[in-house]
Structure 1
Amino acid sequence: MSYILDALKKSDQQRQQGAGPNLQTIHRPVLANTDSPLLKLILTLLLLLLLALAAVAGWYFLSANKSASDNSQQVTLQTEAKPAAEAEVGTTLAQTQTQTQTQPAVVNPPPVLNTSAIRFNDLDANTRTAIPGLTFSFHVYSDNPSLRTIIINNRRVKEGALVEKDLLLEEISPQGVVLIWQNRVRFSIDVVESW
């Protein structure tokens, strides 16, 4: 009996060879040829492109971190400013424009009662309390007076400019500043020692 069934199946298969697939057709998976040189070339190019993008992204993040750390080093104990470009490191164009707009005019003070600067701690208690609070965060001294600068109360101030009302920055010294209060008291503060 099995011979008859086998013969029937064989004749049925020969008859359906020219026909399309049906429900009883056995489907075999088609494997892609992975040895194709074109496919290998495309995969290699994609890998190289990904590596190049990773290198560019790494360089970008490293340079961004370096410039951020350079800008965060604005607090300096004391810097000998050589060229003007070194004294202005970290100051962007927008900061310069803002500072130019907010910087008070340079004032030529009238003669002061005391001729030599008194240390701030040696002033009498009433005068010390009358002088507004001062916060120093940046100090650049140079033999060239035009390159000297200091940041007082979050504002860049040059010699001869008003720091607050009735408080004039007379000089930036190697150790600190000399200030004039109400055109009558000249005093000095050693800002470098306090850091």
Structure 2
Amino acid sequence: MSYILDALRKAERERNLGQPPSMQAVTQPSALRQPPRRLLVPLLAGVTLLLLVTMALLVWRHHRAASAPAPVAVAAVPAAPAIAAMPPPADAGDAVSSFDDLAAPEEAAPAAEEPAAAPAPAIAAAPRAGAEPSMPAVAAEEEAAVEEEDSLPLLRDMPAGYRAGFPSITVEVHVYDDNPAKRWVMVNTRRYREGEALSEGPRIAEITPDGIVFEHQGQRALYPIAR
């Protein structure tokens, strides 16, 4: 439309070239220019509105796609196992009769077993392996140890040749217990148990409540411990 108006104005100017302008010529350009302005504004408004609607539609679709929740995989739930139907309860009269039938043999069983009951022969319990000896046995061992200790000569009473060959010792610790495995002594800063030999030579034959029985040169002698 603007091209047509421009062509008309150009033709009018060429036709009126060199003539004084008339009242119609003065007012005609404004009249010709006014319609394009009235048409241009609605056209621009329509285009602008169309662009705004298109942009709004695009923004809405993008926002909807971004806010849509991600699909969640749903695990298949196994079907519940079928429950077998329970048989109907038996009649009360049948239940009572069955209980009576069960109770009757149980009550009759003790009567039948009474004649056959007989006291079992007493069986002596075998001593457990590794068990500690009884008190009488411990007392007997202590008495035997005391008698043997009384019969042994003291180290200081042994012959001069025996004492000369016996090394010099110092007993720092003397521990006696009813259990031989728990007896030990410390001689010359070294710890020994029954049956072990000193580094100097003599062997500890026994640890008694009152001393140490040493075996040296085939003879035993008691080394007394002062209490």
Output the TM-score relative to the length of structure 2.
0.32
Larger Rg: 1 or 2? 2
- Bigger fraction of residues in strand: 1
Output the TM-score relative to the length of structure 1.
0.38
- Bigger fraction of residues in helix: 2
